[in-house]
Structure 1
Amino acid sequence: MDRALGLLSSAIEQSEILMAVAPIRYISFGGTLAVKVFQNRENTEDVDILLDPNLEALSIYYDEIQHAISTVTTKGGYENDWFNDACRLFTAREKRPKLFLKSVQQNIAVYRSSSLVVYAASFEYALERKLRRMDSNSLLRDRSIDLSDTVALIHALRDTHPLSRDYVQELDLNECGTPVENKVVSLVAKEYLEKYQQQGIVEMIWDEEGQCHTYTNLQDKVVSVPRNPHEPLYNEIIGDIGAYICTLR
């Protein structure tokens, strides 16, 4: 992966058009996070990405970037989809700017050079994507891969306390209104417990008297959670998303 991204970085450097707005920024999902961030896998078949919406909206930059990718595909002898944005199909256009900004704010780069930066996608959305893919029960993919990736994401998002089951089930960037299936969340919670010997996802209830959420730990003790477990773990982006789309850095 590093070699391929290095070649892409070099190809970008050969373009005056792209270097005028460099570094070119992407966010990446799936196998990239598993290999480069969580290291629960040794390799991935492709790099799933979304381009900076600023550049995607302008054909002069988008077309030039696609040309650079094509050059690397030929030079490296890679499959045509080694670096692909198929995940656009699962991410509503109007939601991409917010997702991109949250990912940049998270500030975990899986690759960085003067001409190219690839950020890990927001862990929250990466988790939702994995859960919904498991939910679809595709027969074309080994479910154990997605399960391992999902457990790694839960571990990254978990802080002092486990995640609320409601919070996990209600992750819904595209606002489609369909919760993640209960059986999928149960499977992930069970796998997490087996791997880490601690709770990763739990049922939380509201304690009116204490004005906090509570859950029962493995020692059968009730634990209070000071923060709202249903709020996103990362701060919401403040600002005019529309202005962001129209204004280049």
Structure 2
Amino acid sequence: MDRKHSVAAYLPSTAGKITRKRIDNMIQKLAKGSITVADNTANGAVRWEFPQKPEHLREGVDYEFLRRVNGLPISWKVTEPITVSFLGRRDQETEIALAKAVAMLNDASRLKLRIINEDAKAAQADIELYYVDCLQGSYSNNQLGQTVTRSDSEGVITSATIKLLSSIRGDNSLLTRIIAHELGHGLGLGHPSVAEGEIMAAYSELAKQPHDLGPGDKYALRYLGILASHRAQRSEVKRGEFM
């Protein structure tokens, strides 16, 4: 039997007690593509639908997730916009590149990344970026940026910090791709092994890539966007609103 890549589940509120365990089990099955339920949007239903994956895309080859917890990729839990801030010294070119990268990722994932002014009297941003003169680590000689993505024990991303080499300024197109690449890590994406035409390609290949997201990038980002919504729904169930 062919496995369908687009799957949907509906849990009517009249179908019994919707517990967090039921939500978790449903997410696991949906993520594996092992169940499909007829399209029925009855009142009180909870609808989950993952994007249709093109047949030619392969996880680990054309796209990759940063890591998994309990079998699922780590992701944000979307209850409000994910705030992004560029700290320290920056110029107009950087601000333009950041705006382009955020718009690109928002469009693909349907997450709500929002750039905030570091000077505003607000809480620390969810994702923070800043320039450094050098990067440290075993792969630093081949890197133009580094991202640390933090997640909790349930696989929910809590924050990310991005360092960018200050020497990359001067090429707005490349800067946009690098920022988008690092923000991709901050959203839960890793490096695929081939990734021809993908923003999430390793840095040795990034300069050769198109200026836009590739099909693997777009699929994985949309998947993470939907998973982020599922995690928020699970949080609502935990509070007893659907009991």
Q: TM-score, normalising length from structure 2? A: 0.26
Q: TM-score, normalising length from structure 1? A: 0.26
State the structure with bigger RCO (CA 8 A, min sep 6), 1 or 2: 2
Whose helix fraction is larger, Structure 1's or Structure 2's?
1
